[in-house]
Amino acid sequence: KQLQDEIEALKASTKEEVEELRIKYISKKGLVGQLFADFKTVPAEQKKAVGQAINVLKNKALDKINELKDSFDNADQGDAATDLSMPGEPMRLGTRHPLAIVRNEIIEIFGRLGFTVAEGPEIEDDWHVFSALNFPPEHPARDMQDTFFIQKDPDVLLRTHTSSVQARVMEKTQPPIRAIFPGRVFRNEAISARAHCIFHQIEGLYVDENVSFADLKQTLLYFSRELFGEKTQIRLRPSYFPFTEPSAEMDVSCSICGGKGCNVCKYTGWLEILGCGMVDPNVLDLCGIDSKKYTGFAFGMGIERITMLKYGIKDIRHFFENDVRFLRQFESAY
């Protein structure tokens, strides 16, 4: 009876274990086989009953072992309804974020002109974001309105532009410098379809002997035609930044309507995409570069804005919501 319960409860997790169980119970020297050997010693009048019981036990053991064996054989073959020649479930790949696609494209275009890539910290100090860039102490851009300060300390802040990396690179490197600086920037602004408190910029800096405004203009023309198409025109309008002199803002002819006028360019034919200028000699000196020997140009552009213009995206918030229905539309863009 005890042996019968034991056999009923048998379990195995591999084919090899089933084989071990077969040997243990029903081989000649196994536990059940042994009973047959002992059968000789059973008194004659009990032989019939005991013989039947042993046979029942032996059949139970055989059934159990075969059942265990079958369960593994079936698992090997799959059930009859499964067609093993069917192709697998397709695995959906992720897609690159549109901002990353455009950033990489910009890096690649400037790479062809010999610009390398550098990065700086997002958490900055006043010196690299403002003072070294010739911001006067009372300049409105330092105002609490625009800048996120950390821990109420006016010297720990989130950078409001990637121009801070200009200062860091110039402090560490003597000319020739030719590099771009992609990264996240932060401004304390109300979030809307056109503005966000977190966005991305790419900064460019070229410092060497005899760098001129003509070099800046040609570099930006080449860049604009590579990014928006060879028919693209550019237009520089005078502007002001504390760290460049002279300064300009650059427009490109609208790539959506070809300059004819549409709702993307507000029927002007032009789109503003970046700020630029000749590095102010004060900035060179503040960062340890001899302004009598060297000149340079710098520019800075917003990646969101350029991506919106390039792909006709109407709301900047799409970039930060990670809705796959939006993101999957860029599946084939790189």
Nearest of 208, 214, 182 to residue 99 by alpha carbon: 182
Residues 145-174 that bind ligand PHE (CB under 6 A): 161, 163
Residue 296, interface with ligand PHE (CB under 6 A)? no
- Return the residue nearest ligand PHE (CB atom): 300
Q: Residue 279 in contact with residue 296, Cβ under 8 Å?
A: yes
Judged by beta carbon, residue 21 or residue 279, the one nearer ligand PHE is: 279
Residue 175, interface with ligand PHE (CB under 6 A)? no
What one-character DSSP code corresponds to residue 255?
Answer: T
CB of 299 to ligand PHE, least distance (A): 5
Residue 181, interface with ligand PHE (CB under 6 A)? no
Residue 300, interface with ligand PHE (CB under 6 A)? yes
CA atoms lying within 13 Å on the CB side of residue 283: 30
What one-character DSSP code corresponds to residue 141?
Answer: G
Residue 241, interface with ligand PHE (CB under 6 A)? yes
> Considering CB under 6 A, how many residues would be counted as binding ligand PHE?
11
What one-character DSSP code corresponds to residue 87?
Answer: P
In the numeric block, the tokens 């959506």 are attached to 256
Residues 186-215 that bind ligand PHE (CB under 6 A): 203
Residue 32, interface with ligand PHE (CB under 6 A)? no
Q: Residue 162 in contact with residue 181, Cβ under 8 Å?
A: yes
Q: Which of 7, 129, 276, 289 binds ligand PHE (CB under 6 A)?
A: 276
Q: Residue 241 in contact with residue 275, Cβ under 8 Å?
A: yes
Q: Tell whether 138 is in a known binding site.
A: no
Peptide bond preceding 281: is omega within 30 degrees of 0, i.e. cis? Answer: no
Tokens of 37: 């050997």
Judged by the rule CB under 6 A, the positions of this chain that interact with ligand PHE are: 161, 163, 203, 241, 244, 275-277, 298-300
Task: Detail the residues annotated as belonging to a binding site for Mg(2+).
Answer: 245
